[in-house]
Amino acid sequence: MAWKTVHLMAQKQELPTLADTCHFIKSLNKPCVAQLLAEAKGRGTVAVQPRSGVGGHDEMLELLSRIEAEANPDILTLTIDSYSRLGRFDHASRILHTNPAALNGYPLVSHGWRRGRDLNERTKQPLDIRHGSPIADHLFETAIASGITSFEGGGIAYNLPYAKKVPLEESIASWRRIDHICGELADQGIIVSREMFGTLTAVLIPPSTSLAITFLEAISAARDGVRCLLIAYPQGGNSLQDIAALRSIESLARRYLPLGPSVYPVLHQYMGPFPRDKAKASALILLGGLVAKLGGAAKVVTKTYEEALGIPTVEANVDGIRLTRCALARIFDFIELDEAAIAEEMRWIEREVVELIDPIVGVGDFHKAIVEAFKAGRLDVPFSPSIFTLGDVIPVRDPQGAIRYLSCAGLPFSETTRRRNRESLRETTAPKEKLRQIARDVHFFADQSDVYLL
């Protein structure tokens, strides 16, 4: 898809030309995310990024400025409001003009690209767009016109966990258009970082499901011209398994993206139900930082001690960044891991990923094969609201808290893989007990009196 001039639904702002946009991006006196991650990787450090988003423009600028001044994160976030995520730009605009505080994020399309540029010019660190849009063309075009060159999401992971009735064919087509524009921009010397959202529905996501979907999206993006890919993995709760999953990303990138773009592992700190107690929540954030460090993540996206209470304050956001940086400090270099156990877990995670996506990667019509795999249950997303995935896979935790498949359903796993999952799980026979176990596993940290670090 070529760059095009469009009139946005809410503000009716005509987009600038591609040449003007490229000139503005190159004129910004700040690194892009791709450059920042490359430098961090060279130093062996982990970039830190908070989540943040409010409705009003002045309020958004104040939020970004305070986080930047008080915590100095490496990357700043524009979290988009839920109406804009689903393309309801006119509705977002009405609320913006009547009660912006009622929006749960920044409606970038409604504000328009000129205000996006204002945020970009008045902050020091690069901006990243985090949202959840199955159809993201307008939002992406507005972000790029704003000079923002980091954009999260994909046609699978930003559809099935977020929407009920958006066909995969439509969301994949939207994200392919976006990735084609990324390729065009790369030819002009503008590298757009594309982060694949492995968190999915956020709780009880087996590592191989997360990585299989993110790598399918990454393969598609690379084929369409994307030069910088971030593979995001959600902290699951068992540190050994989480570290193994993060370390597996590099190995899987060598297998599926051998001559393609730069690939960086990302950890999202725990996305499930958080403890309401501040001390326990802080311990969980510290754990997330340690997992990112020990797993070799290039970036960690932070949480706050107010996660269980609602939209966090600036103070909580700053505290979460600082606490995460404590976990990343060299003082924890002394920690020794059971490397043999991590290697064994990596071997099984990578085997499961290969069994899930190898039958798709080699097919002539790659994107059609993805859609057909979800229809047939050969790919699945647990707890998804979408009618375009079966939802037959049932994950639970093993006695150590690692996430396993209680039911593999139609996933194309070998009998060896299925047996290993069966053998990892404690016996539960009664259906009611299985439901209680799943509920306990979802609330793994929220209900715990202690957080087990390693």
Q: Which residues are annotated as catalytic?
A: 85, 152
CB-based contacts of 3, cutoff 8 Å, min separation 6: 17, 18, 181, 184
Q: Which residues of 201-216 are buried (b: 16+ CB within 10 A; e: fewer)?
A: bebbbbbbbbbbbbbb
* Spatial CA neighbour of 307 closest among 315, 298, 319, 316: 316
Number of CB atoms found within 10 A of residue 138's CB: 20
Is the separation of the CB atoms in 347 and 245 below 8 Å? no
Instruction: Kindly write down the DSSP assignment for every residue of 184-224, as one continuous string.
Output: HHHHTT-PPEEEEETTTTSSS--HHHHHHHHHHHHHHHHHT
Q: Residue for token digits 């704003």?
A: 146
CB 215 within 8 A of CB 247: no
List, in sequence order, every residue forming a beta bridge with 232; answer none if it has no partner.
197, 266
- Count CA within 13 A, CB hemisphere, residue 178: 33
Is 84 within 8 Å of 101 (Cβ atoms)?
Answer: no
Among 64, 80, 82, which Cα is nearest to 72's? 64
What is the total residue count of the chain?
Answer: 454
